[in-house]
Chain A
Amino acid sequence: MFLAIKEMLHEKLRYSLIVVLIFLVSYLLIILTGLATGLANLNKAAINEWDASSIVLNSDSEGRLQQSFLSQDEVASLPNNGTRISQYSTLVKSENGLKENAQLVALDSKSFIFKKLKITSGSKNIRNNAGVVSDKFKSDGFKIGDYLLVANSSLRIKITGFTPRATLSALPVVYISPDTIQSLNKGVTNAVVFKNTLNNSKIPKGTNQLSIGSFINKLPGYSAQQLTFNFMIGFLYIIILIVISIFLYILTVQKLPNLGVLKAQGVSTQYLVLSTLFQSFIMSVIGVIIAIILGEITAITLPSEVPIVIDKSNIIVTGIGIIIMSLLGALIPIRQIAKVDPYKIIGG
């Protein structure tokens, strides 16, 4: 790759410009991917923590927890290893005036979901109007022992513990007992969550089993939001492909006479093709590394309200994606190189 490196070092400005362009698009891509992941997590983090496979809801609920009401008969005819979920969206306040929109989720303390909940501080107790709450409350100033006053009700929930990654439909979750939620929703069960997928014969009439993945996709606004992000991310990949293609094409066209002479002198097409691919690879790697570093710095410096998550898997997928696009972008210039006829360049 002697030729490729020497050319890049000699033509620093030209190749730096391409690297800058790759960096800018990659940076935007990493930020957008981070936001898409962050927003997706806000919607589904709590559900992921449940570590469940399926959920049974009312058939007419369109897969939405808030719209699903299961009768006592329906719940009773389901296998008893599921976790009954009751959900109630509301505003909660602390006694010293802190406010938070929240999802109250009631479940049995013996359920597999509750057993799986991790606690970052406090204890895992939801008896006697106590609640284990999302650690978002903690970052917003709530403390263990504080009371959450539920709007439009006389219910007071004592915070006993904080749990991580507990957001549902972008709101922090307050895990309480079925007894505690009784006064708010009259003991209605919205859904039953199972660790495994149920045989269809076990699903009572009037209910519907969804995989957890399908349930997440039906969360209000979730699919539309993710599709919008995916569209923008996909478009940015195409932009990278086009940018690399155009720049490498122009550079290749400019040096076609030299390439023709090199071929005449015995330099193989394979060598010249690999040289171009190597340049594309190096430029994309440099651009991506700078973008990752600045992306991480951006994620750290942005206010915590911005739901951006730049994790390893995002970085790896985005980085590999950009590098693949860059290599694909080199295909058109490579075609030019393969087509160069040294005879025509020499002037026959």
Chain B
Amino acid sequence: MSNLIFDSVTKIFGEGSSKYVALENINFEAESGQLILVVGPSGSGKTTFLTIAGGLQTPTNGDVKINDSTINSLSKKKQTKLRLEKIGFVLQSYNLVPFLTVEEQFKFVDKLKNQNLTEQKMHELLSDLGLLELLKKYPNQLSGGQKQRVAIARALYTDPDYILADEPTAALDTDRSMKVIELLRDLAHKRNKIIIVVTHDLRLKDMADKVYQIIDGKMTILEK
């Protein structure tokens, strides 16, 4: 059972008159098998929350714990390794390496992790996501929805405990957005992952197990 905990996390940018509190005393907990939505308007601190959760930034105060070990005290190198092994990122754009085919995106992960291409695993994953026929295609030959599904498959390929998704539906229409979020929910439930989706799209609210709202750096849980 994995968990992700924010313990009184505050993030402040700048000093003096340019001081800006991006996150204020955030307490947050996520467990395996949950799809969690973090909603809020632009500039509310959603992405800051996500990047701290992914070890890309360190909080000014408070701790971020993954499976009860504090990640903000790890060295940059260890944080990078943690991201490679435990965390999958799905982003709004630039998700995929533009000069690698879908198949090579997975091979690249293998190279990074010094493992042999587990074709069966890759095929299973792509088959589950309906992407098998796209193996030889480059990202610029895929539609927006296909790109996001490949990015999700790639994030899942390392079998991470967490998937952190930043506005994964921003470039998609309603129908495709719902399909992507359904896919993420199924993955959370069936593969027992923690999936945190940061979005300003309130249409997705009903699909999540928990919904948090961030406004002006303050987080509250929303009743569904």
For the complex, is A116 an interface residue (Cβ under 8 Å from B)? Answer: no
- How far, in Å, is B100 (CB) from chain A's closest CB? 6
The SS class assigned to the A binding surface is: helix
Considering the complex, give the chain B residue whose CB is closest to the CB of A264: B89
Question: A6: which B residues are within 8 A, CB to CB?
Answer: 99-100, 104, 108
A260 vs B166: C-alpha distance in the bound complex, in angstroms?
14
Given A346-B51, A348-B47: A264 and B56 interface contact (C-beta under 8 Å): yes
Partner of A3, one of B89, B94, B97: B97
Using C-beta atoms within 8 Å of the partner chain, give the interface range for chain B.
Answer: 35 or more
A125 vs B99: C-alpha distance in the bound complex, in angstroms?
72
A269 vs B99: C-alpha distance in the bound complex, in angstroms?
19
Segment 110-129 of A: residues with Cβ below 8 Å from B: none
Segment 18-72 of B: residues with Cβ below 8 Å from A: 22, 47-48, 50-51, 54, 56-57
Question: A271: which B residues are within 8 A, CB to CB?
Answer: 112
A95 vs B13: C-alpha distance in the bound complex, in angstroms?
94
Question: B104: which A residues are within 8 A, CB to CB?
Answer: 6
Segment 68-125 of B: residues with Cβ below 8 Å from A: 77, 80-85, 87-89, 91-95, 97-100, 104, 107-108, 111-112
A225 vs B166: C-alpha distance in the bound complex, in angstroms?
65
Partner of A342, one of B56, B84, B95, B99: B56
Q: Evaluate contact between B84 and A267: CB separation under 8 angstroms.
A: yes
Q: Evaluate contact between B54 and A264: CB separation under 8 angstroms.
A: yes
For the complex, is A262 an interface residue (Cβ under 8 Å from B)? Answer: yes
For the complex, is A263 an interface residue (Cβ under 8 Å from B)? Answer: yes
The winner among A11, A263, A342 for most chain B CB atoms within 10 A is A342
Q: Evaluate contact between A346 and B47: CB separation under 8 angstroms.
A: yes
Partner of B80, one of A261, A263, A343, A345: A263
Considering the complex, give the chain A residue whose CB is closest to the CB of B154: A265
Segment 163-188 of B: residues with Cβ below 8 Å from A: 166
A264 vs B56: C-alpha distance in the bound complex, in angstroms?
7
A9 vs B100: C-alpha distance in the bound complex, in angstroms?
10
A346 vs B80: C-alpha distance in the bound complex, in angstroms?
16
Q: Evaluate contact between A266 and B84: CB separation under 8 angstroms.
A: yes
- How far, in Å, is A173 (CB) from chain B's closest CB? 61
Encoded as 1 (CB less than 8 Å from any B CB) or 0, chain A from 235 to 270 comes to 000000000000000000000011011111111110
Question: A262: which B residues are within 8 A, CB to CB?
Answer: 97
Q: Evaluate contact between B112 and A346: CB separation under 8 angstroms.
A: no
For the complex, is A7 an interface residue (Cβ under 8 Å from B)? Answer: yes
Question: B81: which A residues are within 8 A, CB to CB?
Answer: 266
A104 vs B95: C-alpha distance in the bound complex, in angstroms?
77
For the complex, is A347 an interface residue (Cβ under 8 Å from B)? Answer: yes
Partner of B48, one of A3, A269, A342, A348: A348
For the complex, is A10 an interface residue (Cβ under 8 Å from B)? Answer: yes
Counted as pairs of residues, one from A and one from B, with CB atoms less than 8 Å apart, the total is: 74
Question: A264: which B residues are within 8 A, CB to CB?
Answer: 54, 56, 83, 89, 91
Question: A347: which B residues are within 8 A, CB to CB?
Answer: 47, 92, 166
Question: B107: which A residues are within 8 A, CB to CB?
Answer: 2
Q: Evaluate contact between B99 and A261: CB separation under 8 angstroms.
A: no
Q: Evaluate contact between A268 and B94: CB separation under 8 angstroms.
A: no
Q: Evaluate contact between A10 and B87: CB separation under 8 angstroms.
A: no
- How far, in Å, is A13 (CB) from chain B's closest CB? 13
Considering the complex, give the chain A residue whose CB is closest to the CB of B99: A10
Question: A7: which B residues are within 8 A, CB to CB?
Answer: 99
Encoded as 1 (CB less than 8 Å from any B CB) or 0, chain A from 169 to 203 comes to 00000000000000000000000000000000000
Question: B57: which A residues are within 8 A, CB to CB?
Answer: 343, 348
Segment 309-348 of A: residues with Cβ below 8 Å from B: 342-343, 345-348
Q: Evaluate contact between A3 and B91: CB separation under 8 angstroms.
A: no
Q: Evaluate contact between B91 and A261: CB separation under 8 angstroms.
A: yes
- How far, in Å, is B158 (CB) from chain A's closest CB? 8
- How far, in Å, is B115 (CB) from chain A's closest CB? 13
Q: Evaluate contact between B51 and A348: CB separation under 8 angstroms.
A: yes
Question: A342: which B residues are within 8 A, CB to CB?
Answer: 51, 56
The winner among B97, B104, B166 for most chain A CB atoms within 10 A is B97
Q: Evaluate contact between B51 and A268: CB separation under 8 angstroms.
A: no
Partner of B99, one of A11, A343, A345, A348: A11
Question: A268: which B residues are within 8 A, CB to CB?
Answer: 77, 80
Q: Evaluate contact between A258 and B94: CB separation under 8 angstroms.
A: yes
- How far, in Å, is A2 (CB) from chain B's closest CB? 5
Q: A261-B91, A265-B88, A266-B80 are in contact. List 14 more A-B contacts (CB 8 A).
A: A2-B107, A6-B104, A7-B99, A10-B138, A257-B94, A262-B97, A264-B56, A265-B83, A265-B89, A266-B87, A266-B112, A267-B84, A343-B51, A343-B57
A and B contact pairs by CB, cutoff 8 A, 23 listed: A2-B108, A3-B108, A6-B108, A10-B100, A10-B138, A258-B98, A261-B91, A264-B56, A265-B84, A265-B88, A265-B155, A266-B82, A266-B83, A266-B84, A267-B112, A268-B80, A269-B80, A343-B56, A346-B91, A347-B47, A347-B92, A348-B48, A348-B51
Which residues of B line the A interface, CB within 8 A? 22, 47-48, 50-51, 54, 56-57, 77, 80-85, 87-89, 91-95, 97-100, 104, 107-108, 111-112, 138, 155, 166
Q: Which 4 A/B pairs are nearest by Cβ-Cβ distance?
A: A266-B84, A10-B99, A266-B83, A2-B111
